[in-house]
Amino acid sequence: MLTPRDKNTLLEAAVAAPSADNSQPWLYRWMGDALDLWIDARRAGKPSDARYVLSDLGLGACIENLCIQARALGYTDKVQYLPDEEQDPLWVARLEFSPSNKEPPDTALAQAIPRRCTDRRFPWKGPVEEALRQALAAEASQLPGARLVWLDPGSQQRHAVLKALQTAESLRFQSRRLHHELFSSICFSAGRKGACPEGLSPRSLGIEAPVWPFFKALRHWPLMRAFNAIGGARLMGLRSAVLPVRLSPGLALLCIEGEDRPAILAAGRALERVWLRATAAGLSIQPYAAPGVLGLGFVEVEARFQDRLGLIRQALEQACSGGCGLLLLRMGRAAGLNKNRGARRPLSSFEWRGGE
Ligand SMILES: Cc1cc2nc3c(=O)[nH]c(=O)nc-3n(C[C@H](O)[C@H](O)[C@H](O)COP(=O)(O)O)c2cc1C
């Protein structure tokens, strides 16, 4: 039997997982020692979350935290994905925990759960040593179908992926639909240094003080559109992604074999394992989801942007040597701790209350 304290420890680990735009799209319900997880419909299904790809990645990360924490507490876990996909596609998993008689595992990953965070600062120092690269790749490979591919400076693959990253990140400012989604996930009311319990806290974005008022004004589409006429979207793509990546010593691509929902859940789990191992080794990470998610082709963008999606997909596929490139991770060593970890809602707000 899980004790109430163990259940609480497990839930705290679960909600420490990363989620796209800090949407925290998780709901849980205990059924004895089994835990059911759902996607929270109120926080999922935005344009770039078509087919719940982003939510499934966040749920995958949440599942992995639960399994890692359960093993550290002395339990084994059994995970069933999508127990009733036809009737209830939001019911993502059932996890069953039972006491383990195995030796306690290495608890480094469990200890890293509360410390893991998205670091958007740059530049970062290196190198990311070969042994560490191999250890991170080994974490990804623990999940069937997942692989971490390193993109070395000077390689053709890296060049093509950076181009895809620039295209995808710029599209977030060029497409009215994606622009609305992005800017509505930032809680501007908190002020540049403020934080909010869900959504993107301005302070976690690390936007420079002089440009903050202009960035804030860009949430109004007419201004964004006018700025785009003089290359604004390209500039935003450079600042948010390409420049930080160029000033980081490590860049890796998480590749997966399939595109079905279990494959995406496994990718979320692999992402979390890599991120926790990196955190334990003192490495900072910022993920970039736009190229992979747009490349999958589920997201509906305006017709005039459609052809770009195929090019993005192709670049990622080539870098993966087959399969899909889903998440780009820039890595390196930051100067000092990141104090801008994304905040979380209270634990009680994640409880499933039945058909809400
Ligand atoms: C599926 C997924 C996609 C994400 N995409 C991005 C991204 O494109 N750019 C970025 O800066 N952070 C991205 N993140 C990081 C989230 O914004 C971050 O996890 C969230 O704000 C919570 O903050 P924390 O990681 O510090 O706990 C992503 C996270 C996940 C799980």
- For atom 19 of ligand 1, the residue with the nearest CA is 18
**Nearest-angstrom CA–CA distance, 328 and 84:** 31
CA of 62 to the centre of ligand 1 (A): 13
Give distance in angstroms: CA of 58 to centre of ligand 1.
9
Residues 9-55: tens digit of each pLDDT? 999 999 999 999 999 999 999 999 999 999 999 999 999 999 999 99
pLDDT of residue 102: 86
The rounded Å distance from CA 99 to ligand 1 centre is 33
Annotated domain spans of the chain:
4-115, 130-332
Residue owning the nearest CA to atom 28 of ligand 1: 20
Q: Which atom, in ligand 1's list, is nearest to the CA of 120?
A: 11
Please give, one letter per residue, the 3-state secondary structure of the chain.
CCCHHHHHHHHHHHHCCCCHHHCCCEEEEEECCEEEEEECHHHCCCHHHHHHHHHHHHHHHHHHHHHHHHHHCCEEEEEEECCCCCCCCCEEEEEEEEECCCCCCCCHHHHHCCCCCCCCCCCCECCCCHHHHHHHHHHHHCCCCEEEEECCCCCHHHHHHHHHHHHHHHHHHHCHHHHHHHHHCECHHHCCCCCCCCCECHHHHCCCHHHHHHHHHCCCHHHHHHHHCCCHHHHHHHHHHHHHHHCCCEEEEEEECCCCHHHHHHHHHHHHHHHHHHHHCCCEEEEECHHHHHHHCCCCCCHHHHHHHHHHHHHHHHHHCCCEEEEEEEEEECCCCCCCCCCCCCHHHHECCCCC
Rounded to whole angstroms, the Cα distance separating 167 from 171 reads 6
Q: What is the pLDDT of residue 30?
A: 97
Domains 4-115 and 130-332 share a fold: yes
If you measure from the C-alpha of residue 22 to the centroid of ligand 1, how many angstroms do you get, rounded to a whole number? 6
Query: So what's the pLDDT on residue 356?
Result: 52
Q: Is domain 130-332 classified as CATH 3.40.109.10? A: yes
296 CA to centre of ligand 1 in angstroms: 18
Closest CA to ligand 1's atom 3: 20
Superfamily of domain 4-115: NADH Oxidase (3.40.109.10)
- Cα(30) to centroid(ligand 1), Å: 27
Residue nearest to atom 6 of ligand 1 (CA): 288
**Residue ranges of the chain whose pLDDT lies below 70:** 355-356
Q: What is the pLDDT of residue 229?
A: 98
For residue 181, the CA-to-ligand 1 centroid distance in Å is: 14
Q: Across the chain, what does the average pLDDT equal?
A: 96
Determine the atom of ligand 1 nearest the C-alpha atom of 57.
1
Ligand 1, atom nearest to 117 Cα: 26
Instruction: Encode pLDDT of 83-109 as tens digits.
Output: 999 999 999 999 999 999 888 788 999
Pocket of ligand 1 (CB under 6 A): 18-22, 54, 57-58, 61, 117-118, 120, 200, 286-290, 341-342
